[in-house]
Chain A
Amino acid sequence: MIEAQVAYSKLEAVSREMGERFQRISRSPLIAQDRAFAAAVMTSDMELAAQHQLEAGHLFALKESVAALFDYFSFDIAEGDILLTADPYSGGTQAQTITMAAPLFYEGELILFPVLRAQMADMSGEYPGGFHPDAFEVWQESVRVTPLKLYKQGVKQRDLWNFLLANTRAPSVLEADLEAMHACLQTAQKQLLQLNGQIPAEKMENYLEEIFQYTRQQALRELPSELEPAGQASVSFQADGEPLAVAVTIQQIEDGLHLDFSGTSVQTNAPFNMTRASAKAYAVWPLIAALKEEPSLNEGLLSAFTFTLPEGSLVSPNLPAATAFSGIITGHFTAEAVMAACHDFEGTRDIDPVHGPGPQAVLFPPIGTEREIEPLFLIPGYPRSPEGMGPPALFGGRRLVSAEELEVHYGFRMTSREWKEEDGGMAVSIQNDGQDVMMNILMPEAANRYYGHVERTMENPFTFTRSAAEERFGTGEEVTFYYPGKGGAADESK
């Protein structure tokens, strides 16, 4: 086990360094600031060897997207190929998220290889950024990029490259991020080749088996195992007024936890549907957050969970159901349902509930006015974590935008960002000092619980309590984002 630990720490370092390098050189703030990406090393058996990620959604999707790529190309993969997909229905989660894999060969055999998965700034669809509150089919959110080879034996496929850049409103951003992904994968490939020279593939395989087993056992030791009878919960929320529910039953089985989502609402004509990979990730993430020690994200951890995801439901929709809000809204309620089902378990009792990121907006100039549009994904505050500090686990590794940078780079003046006196939540006010822009507002909504709201003041005052599309944010107007707190006034004593 000791040799396996030492070898595995080197492998984890490859995925971590790949992620950190990517975060630093990417062009889009979605990656550099919001860390909406995952970096991983996969085995030749399509198992997840090590994954570095800060955002929940990628947990199963990276592996399942790679499986879709390998299924598609089957025996037609050669040294120097770079495979790419960006499709919720090819193992993915939501629109505009690319998975890029760099298969690696040694003496003709596929060995450990690197993969990156990241949200892009824009890949067409009806609105810049892909978040369309009224979408009912996936094409309104993004172009579907089913598996393709971006590089064939080391040669860039110019036609495909141009196709991708032709299907975005932000070609320079997308191109820079694609280049960055490719550069990081190449560096990781070199590191993995060196590691392969030190630890032969067969030996590494044995080490990984040991590590997977260890990770799985460690997770199971802490995860709810006293759910007798099975833990059950159903959480209701609303999609533009339509009531929806995520229901879950959690049961301990022979060697793991089984999460059964029977009873969850059928898929909807709104973008709240979660692909299977997405549903699994948001179901598992709060359980990981409850563990006392951060686990390694690998096959061993994933294998501790099995799922029943009824086909045609919110958690396993059929094409062409729209999915863009699956992470920021349905994922949030899925996590909340899982926590509610586990509520009597000692390990999770003190963590309640798991908030998502709360109200946010995508800002862009009026559509059709400019050839190149880089949407601004604005999450200026966060819901205050009921237990512990700072934002909740589902907020991921996002960084709040600096007020000074927002003004210098985008022309929006933040006039205030403070704890609210009434409930200890956060309120952030932003004034538009530049041209009129449009905004799509995204926020969770439930009949019996407050998850924040957005107010627009000045010329067109309005209070948004649910998601909205193409709202004008005019020159001189102010928009305030309100986030829920722990309850009670902000703490003056600490």
Chain B
Amino acid sequence: MAVGEEAGPWVIGVDVGGTFTDVVAVDPRGNMVTTKTPSTPDQSDGVVDGIEKVAEKAGGTLSGMLSACPLIVHGTTVATNTLLEYQGAKTGLLTTEGFRDEIEFRRAYKESVFSARLQSPYQIVPRRFRIGIPERLDQEGNVLTELDENAVRQALREFQKEGIEAVAVSFLFSFVNSEHEQRVYELVQEEAPEMFVSLSHEVLPQIREFERVSTTVVNAYTGPGMQSYLNHLETRLRGHQFEGELFVMQSNGGVQNVVQSGKFAAGGLLSGPAGGVTAASFIGARSGHPNLITVDMGGTSYDVSVIENLEPTVTTESWISRYRVALPMMDIHTVGSGGGSIAWIDNGGALQVGPKSAGAVPGPACYAQGGTEPTVTDVNVFLGYINPGHFLGGEMKLDADLAEKAIRTNIAEPLGLSTVEAALAISEIVNNDMSNAVRFVTTQRGFDPRSFSLLAMGGAGAIHAGRQAEDLGINTVVIPLQAPVFSALGDVAANLKVTELKTRFERLQDIDLEGMNADFEKMEKTAREKLGGGDVVRQFEAHRYVAMRYAGEVHEVTVPVRSRTKRITALNMEATLSDFHALHERLYAHKDLSQDVEILNLSLDLIGVRERLPMEEEAFAAEDPAPAKIGERNMYFSEEPAIVPFYDGSWLQPGNLIEGPGVIEQWGTTIVVYPNQEALIDAYRNCVIEVKQMESGLQTGWNT
């Protein structure tokens, strides 16, 4: 296919991961070109390399593709890496006098309550750079103490002397009255205009000072790096004739323009995984699976998220690199089980898997890079699930003997097991850990995993998904065709989105609907100013939510407002209240219709809906997958080996049906179809595995 009359203009999605940069280019007719290229220290190198690679695959040139491209959506790890590696800007904090240590107190949160040895996180704003400013508002926003402008100026001059690059400003009750923070912004422009400024009432205008100050500080710490990277990337792309718009994937599942993404860098944390969940929702809509549990198994971690009725669940309780980020983010639960997780025997003789990982270097023993400890990848090679000659499409050869030796010497012999028994045991433990993670995510939100399909992505996800489905009582597993570049697919599929927040505390019985409507109107206006993207947006949608709780409860439940018009009426609130009771019962098995309900926060998602990503359905071919069969090999599903056929995924056609056991090998993904399972290649070339369920009641997908 060539760039020109037959194909294009291309919309491009680029997701930069730790190892690879993935690129997806789609044209209005649904032609899709994808590639993976190694990530680079300057992420823009990998981005440009990747786009050049897809341009060549499409028969064109980098400039040719970019000159006609209206939109590039980018998932980047710049902000995430900055925080994970603590390599952010030198940051200062101005906060209400008397409260400069809240960021360190963390409301007494410790990752391990038991541990007396746990050490504090690295302080991204050391105490000497945290300055209390005389000023104070009360809960209604009345000024109790005027802002001491001299103190602000003096603090800024101190910061300048210390070489501070970014300043976070977080005053008590600024979410009610932002005047003091806005005045500080003006003073920064006068005293130190070169400093990046992060204002708490803009970043997170919500009650609870620790959550707000932490998010504001993280935004300041990651902002300058993000801003500089995006400017650099945009300049490079413009240099290659790109005249379209550059957007950045956000952790709330929407995308934002470069200016907003630089200003609110905290919104771009974990944008890669968010792209994957967005893609899952897109695939779910196309393939008829509105309720999905997505699982992404990479080298070091296993990410789980839930999509209900095509809507990914959202959380405001994230901790990233031990810092609280209270922005609404896609709710992705991570556990330390990945392909690189090391199996070991503890001093009590119990077999454990992870959380320590072999990482990329030395990597699993079978990488033959000096690793000697057995990993999950070694087990998958030894059991025959991964073809050592076809890893990453044959780009990397694995040493099966080293995998066997690592399992035998480290696990089998010390435990008095055969190597097969040891490998199966490791596999069982890691599958169980991952299933527990799925259970945790679903039951915590009041879902029964049995009413969901499992969507597997990531290099190793599709090897284990079939087993987890059996354990969880899930009937269907979906492995999308684009699994190897899934986050990039999410980038091109995502809509523009801005989330606005506001604290509004009132009892439902005393609700001021006029006031609430005015607040929502103002929030929508602000969101429209931020959203941008006029050239690519087809229509706007505003979704309004109210965070409610039974009076006195500490935790709130976010409920969509039931209203078809812009104005919320008393009847709408009644319906919303009824939804609150139902949601509370689903989440917590408990509701109380007689109890007072109070509102804590309002939120509004303004969505700029883009043209739907076109995807053509293909007609079903014959059922027989034999033309794609490339051989047979020994595999272990139990202690006895079985001879199992394996197929080249790129040769499989829609309608092909593979009865398990079998293995499908494709670039970047291996799919294991276990005994008693059937895999169908659907009309979009996704692999859909149907799982035979055991007798009723034998699964433990908790039915709550």
Question: CB within 8 Å of B: which residues of A?
Answer: 1-2, 5-6, 9-10, 13, 17, 20-21, 24-29, 32-33, 54, 172-173, 176, 179-180, 183-184, 186-187, 190-191, 194-195, 197-198, 214, 217-218, 221, 286, 288-292, 294, 350-351, 354, 374, 382, 385, 387-393, 395-400, 402-405, 407-408, 413, 415-419, 426, 429, 490-494
Contact = CB atoms under 8 A, between A and B. Distances in A.
Given A6-B432, A17-B440, A400-B108, 14 more contacts: A27-B550, A176-B552, A176-B592, A183-B590, A190-B703, A194-B702, A294-B112, A294-B115, A388-B115, A389-B120, A402-B207, A417-B105, A418-B101, A418-B132
B117 A419 contact: no
Contacts of A418: 98-101, 132
A390 B589 contact: no
A195 B471 CA distance: 12
Nearest to A193: B697
A404 B108 contact: no
Q: Is the interface of B mostly helix, strand, loop or mixed?
A: loop
B128 A493 contact: yes
Contacts of A392: 116
B443 interface: yes
Contact of B106 (A17, A172, A390, A415): A390
Contacts of A417: 98-99, 101-102, 105
A387 B700 contact: no
Interface stretch (B257-265, B342-350, B527-535): B342-350
Contacts of B113: 54, 393, 396-397
Interface in B550-601: 550, 552-555, 584, 587-590, 592, 595
A404 B139 contact: yes
A1 B350 contact: yes
Given A388-B115, A494-B123, A407 B138 contact: yes
Given A13-B439, A25-B588, A191-B702, A218 B347 contact: yes
Contact of B697 (A24, A194, A221, A405): A194
Contacts of A187: 589, 704
Contacts of B110: 389-391
B700 A21 contact: no
A411 to B, nearest CB: 9
Nearest to A291: B114
A162 to B, nearest CB: 16
A176 B555 contact: no
Given A198-B697, A404-B172, A494 B119 contact: no
Contacts of B554: 29, 32-33
Interface residues of B, number: 72
B622 interface: no
B348 A221 contact: yes
Nearest to B352: A5
Contacts of B590: 25, 179-180, 183-184
B161 interface: no
A289 B116 CA distance: 6
B429 interface: yes
Interface string B674-704: 0000000000000000000000011110111
A200 B700 CA distance: 13
Given A5-B351, A391-B108, A404 B127 contact: no
Contacts of A490: 101, 127
Contacts of B115: 289, 294, 388, 393
Contacts of B702: 17, 190-191, 194
B209 A404 contact: yes
A54 B113 CA distance: 7
Given A382-B108, A402-B210, A404-B207, A387 B117 contact: yes
A408 B173 CA distance: 10
22 contacts: A2-B351, A5-B350, A5-B432, A17-B443, A17-B702, A21-B589, A25-B584, A27-B552, A176-B592, A184-B588, A184-B590, A191-B700, A194-B697, A194-B700, A198-B700, A390-B118, A391-B110, A402-B210, A404-B209, A418-B132, A490-B127, A494-B120
B704 A214 contact: no
A9 B128 contact: no
A176 to B, nearest CB: 7
B311 interface: no
A64 B112 CA distance: 26
B112 A400 contact: no
Interface centre among A2, A286, A419, by most B CB within 10 Å? A2
A385 B106 CA distance: 14
Contact of A403 (B116, B209, B436, B440): B209
A390 B109 contact: yes
Interface in B128-144: 128, 132, 138-139
